[in-house]
Structure 1
């Protein structure tokens, strides 16, 4: 089994225009922007650049990866590109949401300058990165915190409570009907139909799958025997009638179009779907950015990594009240050294913008995510400032 062990709410419905409006007052370091070498850190919200620094950026860069943060990346790239051009710079950033696994592969092949990934680069990938990192090494920084919604299509059922064990049994084909006694006892007020349950999973190599199955492994115990994995069709259970979708949008499309379905997807794209409440510490909890942020707060950093490589070991089995455990942290994977000075400075500026208070607010308004903490922001900005370019 291919197991990777090191590994956030309806949309605020403000639309991309709301996020872009944040930039109307200009894009220097005054209100959080990219950083090109003068520190920044947490004193100015991780801005990392003096006013006017964007006008000095000339490198055009590409990133690819996690579709979970597609809405955030769309807002980030359009906002950042607008700030750069507003300052007279000629740099630009693009992002292709092709999935975490493919994004990491493109980055490690040298096709992109950064990757977005729901599963951080592992030890083997970090070693491989020397080939594209100017003799240095890549590292991971958390930039996006979002709940993973357990979404369903069951007309007439407005609320649904699920325990970790029942979620595991549904996706393992051990619970096959919506009115199964195991589900009914936690939903006494719901009119559950005698309808076949159709589990829906990701068909691609997916960090969202990895985060979801890690939750099942840690929280469902013996009711989940498949461990943690990224590729469902290769390593997960095969259930009669199950369906799959390519990327987050693919899973959403299947659930929207088929009654009786249940699947997992980034909460930013679960708008207008039924969303289950998940049992945590004896209570059924609705997901929210605040609940996602809380589980990150009670989770430790992963051990055995370099100081600049910031990875969180999420407490999937927490019983902390108000902490929603089915969470993904999307990371940006970047190099600690770039041979091309123009590209390197633009990467540093763009990642600094994502980390900044303004960047995190833009993501929250356009993708319903939870802002990273001041402590995480400060540590991550220090890692970006140390990156060499040219």
Structure 2
């Protein structure tokens, strides 16, 4: 498939007039966690069509590329027919892709990003205080968008004095709160997708368990 109006693409987009343009893939030219995240999803969800392992270095050579996120955005924006990958918070006016999940195509949204976290199992070694997730990149959960990256806040479970414990609990309580999550969702702050209410309940319980010796 080398053109946007290829019959295989048209079959997945009934009723849509597709442009007669070459597909121009754009990748990061530098080693990148975004590239590793994207290729991890490709390796898990492409049913063998992507033969490469997840890596921070793009495994193919000879295509269009850009250094760092801004270089990627600039390269994608500079021509017609391009497609690349970047943090959603940096996409700006560029279109975003609905990805195949089960029998449906799920567009990106903060809610869909939170949904894949809720639909994924706990990672090995996780507990009620260590809320680590093994992202299910090949999920078929309705409304889940599996091309995401999870960031964690890390704290001690026990502090030497009550003041330190209270300060950490206060900070993390705000971070996990609806107000804190909405603040972090601001593209000028972090551009992250807010956690779900279900996950917030588990996070708040873990925070409440922090104590002083």
Q: TM-score, normalised by structure 2?
A: 0.78
Q: Can you list the C-alpha shifts for 1:4-27, whole angstroms capped at 9, x where unaligned?
A: xxxxxxxxxxxxxxxxxxxxxxxx
2:129 maps to 308
d(CA) in 2 for partners of 1:177, 1:347: 53
Q: Is 2:41 the counterpart of 1:245? A: no
**1:135-150 alignment runs, 5 A limit:** none
Task: Pick from 14, 22, 37 the counterpart of residue 195 of structure 1.
Answer: 22
Task: Give the Cα separation in 1 of the matches to 2:165 and 2:79.
Answer: 46
Partner of 2:48: 222
Contact 2:3 2:23 in 1 (8 A): yes
Mapped partners of 1:197, 1:269: distance in 2: 20
> Which has the larger share of strand?
1
Deviation (angstroms), 1:305? 3.0
- 1:243 is displaced (CA, Å) by 0.5
For 1:383, which of 199, 202, 206 is the aligned residue?
206
Mapped contact 1:291–1:324 kept (Cα < 8 A)? yes
Decide whether the 8 Å contact of 2:4 with 2:18 is kept in 1.
no
Please give the alpha-carbon distance, in whole angstroms, between the structure 2 residues aligned to 1:202 and 1:314: 26
1:355 to 169, 176, 179: 176
Distance in 1 separating the partners of 2:170 and 2:60: 44
For residues 383 and 202 of structure 1, do their structure 2 counterparts lie closer, same or farther at Cα, with a shift above 3 Å needed?
Answer: farther
Q: CA deviation at 1:204?
A: 3.5
Where 2:62 maps in the other structure, the secondary structure is coil
| Cα distance in 1 between the residues matched to 2:101 and 2:183 | 30
Q: Distance in 2 between matches of 1:205 and 1:223?
A: 22
Structure 1 residue 241 displacement after superposition: 1.9
The 3-state SS of whatever aligns with 2:19 is coil
CA RMSD of aligned residues (A): 3.2
Once residues 78 and 45 of structure 2 are traced to their aligned partners in structure 1, the CA distance between those partners, rounded to angstroms, is 30
Aligned equivalent of 1:264: 85
Distance in 2, matches of 1:263 and 1:339, equals 48
Contact 2:26 2:76 in 1 (8 A): no
Structure 1 residue 373 corresponds to structure 2 residue 196? yes
- Alignment check: 8 A CA contact 1:280 1:319 kept: yes
The 3 A distance-change label for structure 1 pair 335 and 256 is farther
Question: What is the TM-score when the length of structure 1 is the normalising length?
Answer: 0.46
1:97-153 deviation digits (Å, cap 9, x = unpaired): xxxxxxxxxxxxxxxxxxxxxxxxxxxxxxxxxxxxxxxxxxxxxxxxxxxxxxxxx
CA-CA distance at 1:220 after TM superposition:
0.6
Counterpart for residue 145 of structure 2: 324
The CA deviation at 1:186 is: 2.7
Q: 1:289 touches 1:368 (CA, 8 Å); kept in 2?
A: no
Shift of 1:268: 2.0
Deviation track 1:301-328 (CA, whole Å, cap 9, x = no partner) reads 1122354221122222222332222222
- Do structure 1's residue 288 and structure 2's residue 89 form an aligned pair? no
Match of 2:36 in 1: 210
Paired residues of 1:300 and 1:314 also in contact (CA < 8 A)? yes
Contact 1:200 1:261 in 2 (8 A): no
> Within 5 A, what are the aligned runs for 1:179-194?
179-187=5-13, 189-194=16-21
Q: 1:388 to 1:228 in 2, by over 3 A?
A: farther
Structure 1 segments unaligned to the other structure (5+ residues): 1-174
Deviation for aligned residue 1:263: 1.3
